[in-house]
């Protein structure tokens, strides 16, 4: 009888509560093309992620430069929990390294929690050892491992970021007086900005500009792939005179509420008509109208003309504490134009005919990163 009563009571009470299901373990994967949408959905939702974490950089870097990439992600219960894009650069002249995407100002592990980030860190460490690189590099606006003595940092790059409003007059008045006068000069001379559907004019202005600086040029294919891959988030803006002469051009990225002028250059005419000054003002106007509220002037090296130019716009420099973990190397990398050992190369490069420099440049720049 008791068993019958107990059974009836159990039936009325319903099934016993089940034990909570433990979450699945974190698993590490390499990105496949079919997973690009999932990867990008995570990047766009993750506050720490940047434009340079998007999956499109994998095809852009591999197709433009033939550089090997490794896009790691951590997954749990079918959901991406963290990502880390890496690339290997192997050069007799500039060394052997693994790190954030070449030619990208930001990059490193971004994740929803410390366990996922640690798994990504571990994958990078194992890959660095397997490849036998000299060093591993992460790039961010803050240090990823501020208390780990195995990771080193140095002061080389700064970034310039400033809030803008939807009011052109307020944005103009925020520019220091001398720089504002240069902007107004371009306006009075009738300069105008045009958005291009290709990179032809932009490449012409950019190639001339970097040649004057003694710097190897990127391949034109690279800029075309950026525009093709990122669509509306990659704009090519060209500045011309009232009689359609090319003055300057800039390729910019749009990310969330930010605009990032990334590659730009001017012709010889730009100096006469304050073309570069007008170009960035014209971009600021267009970005503000598009809803952007942050103007990211990008990184510059300390002690360069680009650094001084951006400071003259009233932007405050913010140190970029890039991190390096040494493996085969015994010193931090120093592959930049300020290194005295490259000064002779720079002087010689300036003397090359422009067509020759444009032909040779892509073979050299792919090793710089």
Q: Predicted confidence band at 345 (pLDDT cuts at 50, 70, 90)?
A: low
Classify 150 as helix, strand or coil.
Answer: coil
d(CA 171, CA 175) in angstroms, rounded, equals 7
Lowest mean pLDDT among 84-98, 185-199, 337-351: 337-351
Strands 95-99 and 79-91, sheet pairing: antiparallel
The full set of domains in the chain, from first to last, is 27-141+323-335 (3.40.630.30), 159-319+352-365 (3.40.630.30)
Write down the pLDDT at residue 9: 47
Lowest mean pLDDT among 11-20, 97-106, 275-284: 11-20
In tens, the pLDDT along 157-204 reads 899 999 999 999 999 999 999 999 999 999 999 999 999 999 999 999
Question: Are residues 244 and 220 in contact, defined by beta-carbon separation less than 8 angstroms?
Answer: no
d(CA 362, CA 258) in angstroms, rounded, equals 29
Kindly state the average pLDDT of the residues 32-58.
97
Kindly state the average pLDDT of the residues 354-363.
70
Is residue 3 pLDDT above 80, yes or no? no
> Looking at per-residue confidence, does 230 or 8 come out higher?
230
Write down the pLDDT at residue 8: 45
Residues 6 or more apart in contact with residue 172 via CB below 8 angstroms: 180, 183, 281
Strands 95-99 and 135-138, sheet pairing: parallel
Mean residue pLDDT of the chain comes to: 89
In tens, the pLDDT along 197-227 reads 999 999 999 999 887 877 888 999 999 999 9
Closest CA to 280 of 301, 252, 304: 252
């Amino acid at each position: 009888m008791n068993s019958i009563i107990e059974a009836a009571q159990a039936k009325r009470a319903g099934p016993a509560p089940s034990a909570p299901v433990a979450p699945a373990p974190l698993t590490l994967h390499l990105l496949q093309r079919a997973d690009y949408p999932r990867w990008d959905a995570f990047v766009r939702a993750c506050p720490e992620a940047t434009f340079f974490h998007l999956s499109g950089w994998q095809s852009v870097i591999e197709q433009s430069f033939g550089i090997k990439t490794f896009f790691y992600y951590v997954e749990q219960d079918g959901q991406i929990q963290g990502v880390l894009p890496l690339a290997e650069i192997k050069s007799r002249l500039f060394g052997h390294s693994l790190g954030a995407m070449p030619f990208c100002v930001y990059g490193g592990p971004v994740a929803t929690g410390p366990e996922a980030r640690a798994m990504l860190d571990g994958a990078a460490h194992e890959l660095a050892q397997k490849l036998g690189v000299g060093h591993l590099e992460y790039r961010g606006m803050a240090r990823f491992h501020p208390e780990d003595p195995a990771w080193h940092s140095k002061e080389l790059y700064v970034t310039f970021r400033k809030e803008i409003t939807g009011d052109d007059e307020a944005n103009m008045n925020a520019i220091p007086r001398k720089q504002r006068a240069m902007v107004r000069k371009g306006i009075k001379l009738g300069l105008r900005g045009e958005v291009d559907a290709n990179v032809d004019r932009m490449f012409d202005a950019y190639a001339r500009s970097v040649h004057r600086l003694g710097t190897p040029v990127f391949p034109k294919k690279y800029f075309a792939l950026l525009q093709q891959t990122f669509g509306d988030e990659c704009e090519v803006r060209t500045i011309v005179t009232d009689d359609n002469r090319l003055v300057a051009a800039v390729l910019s990225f749009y990310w969330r509420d930010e605009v990032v002028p990334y590659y730009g250059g001017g012709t010889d005419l730009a100096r006469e008509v304050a073309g570069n000054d007008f170009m960035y003002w014209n971009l600021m106007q267009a970005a503000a109208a598009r809803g952007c509220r942050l103007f990211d002037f990008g990184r510059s090296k300390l002690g360069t003309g680009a650094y001084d130019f951006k400071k003259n716009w009233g932007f405050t420099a913010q140190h970029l504490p890039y991190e390096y973990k040494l493996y085969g190397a015994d010193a931090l990398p120093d592959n930049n134009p300020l290194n005295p050992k490259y000064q002779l190369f720079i002087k010689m490069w300036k003397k090359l005919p422009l067509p020759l420099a444009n032909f040779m440049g892509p073979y050299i720049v792919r090793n710089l990163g």
